Amino acid sequence: MNAMGQLASGVAHEIRNPLNSIATIVQQLDKDFEPINDKDEFHSLAKIVSKEVQRMNRTIENFLRFSKPEPILKNKFQLKDLLTAIEEQFVPLLKEKGIKFFLEENWDGIVNWDKNQIKQVLINLITNSIESIKDSGEIDLIIAKIDKNVELKLCDNGEGIPKENLQKIFNLYFTSKAKGTGVGLSIIQRIVNEHDGIVTVESSLEKGTSFTISIPINI
C-alpha cells in the first residue's frame, strides 16, 4: 500500500502540473481576451473547460485519498459549526441548480472525530445528491443522537439507484455515472469505518436516495 501511495503521488503530481497550467491560461483568456465573433460561445466554452479541470482535480484527490489514506486525527469540535460551514460552501451551487437544502439538527453537541475527514464524507455525499437531481429538488440533512452515537442522514429526491446496484455502490471503481470514477463512496465507507461507524443506503428509482451514517460521539 505504501508503494501504491508513492506511485499515486507521483502520477498525481505529473497530471496536476499541466492541469493547473490549463486552468490558469483558460481563466486568463476568459478574463482578458474578447473575440470579435461568438463572444458568448467563447466564454461558455472557457467556463466548461474550467469546470472540467476542477472535476479532474477532484478525481485525482479522491484517488490519492484512497491509495494513500491519512491517519485519523481526532479532535473535539462543535458538530453544528462544521455543518453550517459545509452548507454555506454549497449555497452558490444549490442556488444555481434550484435545489433546496434543509438542515435539521435534533442534537447539537461536541464530537471527537477527524473533522477534515468527516467534512470530506459530507461534501462527497452532498455532491452526489446534487448530481442526482435533474431539475429543482430537495436535499435534507438530519442530525440526531441515538444512544452513544450520532446519526447523520442525508436524503434527496433525485433519480435514485437501481436495486441491483445498491450492493455494489461501495465497491472500489464501481460507478454508473458517465463521468464517475467509483472512488468517492469507497472513501466514504473507509472513513466511516475508521471512525468505528457504519454507513447504509436506501434508494428508490425516480424517488430518491437516503444515506445514513452512525458514528460514536467519542471514537
**Average pLDDT over the chain, rounded to whole?**
86
164: which DSSP letter?
Answer: G
Which residues, 6+ apart, have CB-to-CB distance to 89 below 8 Å?
123
180: confidence class by pLDDT, cuts 50, 70, 90: very low
Which residues, 6+ apart, have CB-to-CB distance to 119 below 8 Å?
82, 85, 86
Tens-place pLDDT, residues 46-81: 888 888 888 788 777 767 766 666 789 999 999 999
Q: Domain residue spans in the chain?
A: 2-67, 75-216
Residue with cell 493547473: 20
Hey, do 2-67 and 75-216 end up sharing a CATH topology, with the first three levels equal? no
Tens-place pLDDT, residues 111-120: 999 999 999 8
CATH of domain 2-67: 1.10.287
Whole-model pTM? 0.71
182: confidence class by pLDDT, cuts 50, 70, 90: very low
User: Which among 50, 58, 71 has a CA at the least distance from the CA of 16?
Assistant: 58
User: How many alpha carbons fall within 13 Å on the CB side of residue 2?
Assistant: 0
Write down the CATH superfamily of domain 75-216. Answer: Histidine kinase-like ATPase, C-terminal domain (3.30.565.10)
